Amino acid sequence: MAEPQSFVHPVPPLYDENSKTLILGSFPSAKSREARFFYGHPQNRFWKLLARLFNEEVPQSIEQKKQIILNHNLALWDVIHSCTVTGSSDSSIRDVVPNDISVILQNSKVDRIFVNGTTPFNLYKKYIFPKTGIEAVKLPSTSPANAAFSLDRLVECWQELIR
């Protein structure tokens, strides 16, 4: 069994001055840490989901993934700056140091925050909401661990993102 390890988030926030909606995850999976970009595990449905929502091709390269985020006035980051985690399991996350999302809020038009799953939602409420006062909307996780949700069902739930 894997041992818990301490990590610092390896990926900077993705946003620009036109970003209006922030999507927060928890912390990069082992595959995402390896790829040095968000949602790097091939089984995670995040990029397929965005492609369906925006009626675009599924982005393959990091550059294409950045473009789908920025072209739709989105911002992307995670709740956690550093933590101890075993593998990629959100349920194993300990010793959380939250990210400071004020850098995004001060340098963009972000006024809506969505979180990708229950763990980041709970961590957001605990660590970040008291500082920002911005309520976050919890969306079902795109993780392969959330097998109860098909891609079609995720698309249905995530429609709120594009309203």
Catalytic residues: 44
Are 34 and 122 in contact, with CB atoms under 8 Å apart? no
Residue type, 162: I
Are 141 and 116 in contact, with CB atoms under 8 Å apart? yes
Give the strand pairing for 136-139 and 112-116. parallel
- Vertex 1, ends 96 and 77: CA angle to 5°? 30
Considering only CA atoms, give the Rg of the chain.
15
